[in-house]
Amino acid sequence: MTEVALGNAGAAIRKATDTGRKAFIGYLPAGYPTYDGAIDGVKALVDGGADVIELGLPYSDPVMDGITIQRATETALAGGLRTRDVLSTVEKIAAYSDVPVLVMTYWNPIERYGVDRFAADFAGAGGAGLITPDLIPDEGAEWIAAADKHDLDKVFLVSPSSTDARIKMTTAACRGFVYATAVMGVTGARDTPSELAAPLVARTHAVTGLPVGVGLGISNGDQAAGVAAFADAVIVGAALVKALGDGGPAGVRALAEDLAEGVRREPGAPGDR
């Protein structure tokens, strides 16, 4: 068992579990549908009950994202969003709430900005850490050093195809929580969560005391309740992006409240599945 480094997001997740429920992590991309619209959407997410915010940094080649998030990030980039705008978005959200704000980003934009420079500016804006889906710890020494220097969370991913040795190595490099991708393939809401999720969480819990969050494919409170039965945190992205596009901040808040109710539901309660 590796030493637990709860960091910013991990402390928020642990605070939720200490009260007898699981945590809800909500994703929205910066700059979608507009710079101000994204900030309003995230504020609605906070008001709806999110325990941790995952803010997407739009990138021109989002190969791991499904069509909903791809189109949202295309809109953000077409609107002229730049990395400095993402940092100012973080600053405004951090001023609104003490809910930790982690940025989900492909690695290329961080390299272009400058790894230590980004870490310093991000920490100065009130950011809590990064989720880096295309960076593995073996190749992340520069980021790990910068994150440690600025007390930022380092969230790496494990997947159903990860070996036990890979899961142990990856979790040892994490601070905050471990991100378990519950399906093989790109992101996007699905009718039913993957059956691969629970075994992956069990394998991850076997080697770390860090919280484990499950993402990909969750779109309503019933699904959130099902995942909360075995994971420490439920991560929702594409469904919230769709809610923002269809119904604005009010749509985000309504879905966030449903998801937050799901992670608070007693296992086996009516509506659970």
Known catalytic residues are 54, 65
**In a 3-state reduction of DSSP, which class is residue 23?**
strand
Query: 265: which residues sit within 8 A by CB, 6+ positions away?
Result: 221, 225, 228, 271, 272
Report CA torsion sign: 12, 14, 20, 22: positive
Q: What pairs with residue 158 in β-bridges?
A: 180
Is it true that the peptide bond before 33 is cis, omega within 30 degrees of 0? yes
> Which has the closest alpha carbon to 182: 143, 129, 243, 223?
223
**In a 3-state reduction of DSSP, which class is residue 140?**
coil
> Which has the closest alpha carbon to 104: 179, 40, 167, 169?
179
CB atoms within 10 A of CB 133: 20
- Report the Cα–Cα distance between both ends of the chain, in Å, rounded: 31
**In a 3-state reduction of DSSP, which class is residue 233?**
strand
